[in-house]
Amino acid sequence: MSHSKVKASAVALVSMVIMAASTVAACGSSRHEVKTLAEEPDTWHHRGIWTEKQGDRTLLLVVGSSGNASLDRSSAMEAAEQVARERLAIYLGSTVQAFRERLARRRELAVQRIDEDKAGGAELTSQNDSGGRTIAERTVRGLEFANSHLEEDSDTLFVLGRLDLENFKKTLLSDKALSEAERNMVAKNAAEIRAEMDAALDEARQSKP
């Protein structure tokens, strides 16, 4: 065999090896692809409420549970979903109240009428509670359930609900449950108000509903 033929054969062999290695690497990466949170019950079924970034969305995730699931799976599912909705409603209501209280403090500093605002504190709290419940109840209707998991040892059924956090923020920032003064403050200070919203979410999460 001539030197040129040997060289050509060697080059072809090297090319085949490289192609085979690339194929194996590709197969290997697909076999070890990390599963999503919803596919891994052990990562979520004993949690409460938390946020998670998935792609370009930020999701608010909530877990509900119901015991004696083996007696009636359908009823247990309904009960667990209701627990998740109630837990989310409490959290969102607390978030709205914390957010509005932050708006009130900003307004106090802006208009320098702290004493007058303190005198109306009881009315403001009542308005906050009512507005928070209204927004929370509407938002909870959009809760989607991504997965369920039966823990056989305890006969407990867990469900995982999810809500688009950005949609909730947009709803709150434009909601008619806010007063006209609050909506004006939001419109004039959009970036700062969104920071207050994030802080309110963190504050409400500390209560661990």
pLDDT per residue as tens, the chain (209 positions): 554 544 444 444 334 333 433 333 333 322 223 334 556 777 898 899 999 988 888 999 999 999 999 999 999 999 999 999 999 999 998 888 888 888 888 777 766 554 555 555 444 444 445 556 677 888 888 899 999 999 999 999 999 999 999 888 888 777 666 777 787 777 777 778 778 888 888 888 776 55
Residue type, position 155, single letter: D
pLDDT confidence of residue 39: 60
Nearest to 135 by CA among 183, 96, 193: 96
Q: Could you give the CA distance from residue 111 to residue 75 in angstroms, rounded to a whole number?
A: 54
pLDDT score, position 148:
94
Name, in order, each residue with C-beta under 8 angstroms of 131's C-beta and a sequence gap of 6 or more. 96, 100, 175, 177, 178
Say if residue 183 is exposed, middle or buried (CB neighbours under 10 Å; 0-12, 13-18, 19+).
middle
Q: How many residues does the chain have?
A: 209
Structure tokens at 134: 């209204």
Of 174, 89, 170, the C-alpha closest to 132 is 89
Task: Select from 90, 53, 82 the least CA-distant residue to 164.
Answer: 53
Distance between CA atoms of residues 98 and 89, nearest Å: 14
Q: Where are the domains of the chain?
A: 1-33, 41-205
Task: Return d(Cα 5, Cα 53) in angstroms, integer.
Answer: 56
pLDDT digits (tens, 9 = 90+) for 135-171: 788 888 889 999 999 999 999 999 999 999 988 888 8
Asked whether 47 and 64 are in contact (CB, 8 A), the reply is no
Pick from 180, 187, 154: nearest CA to 46? 154
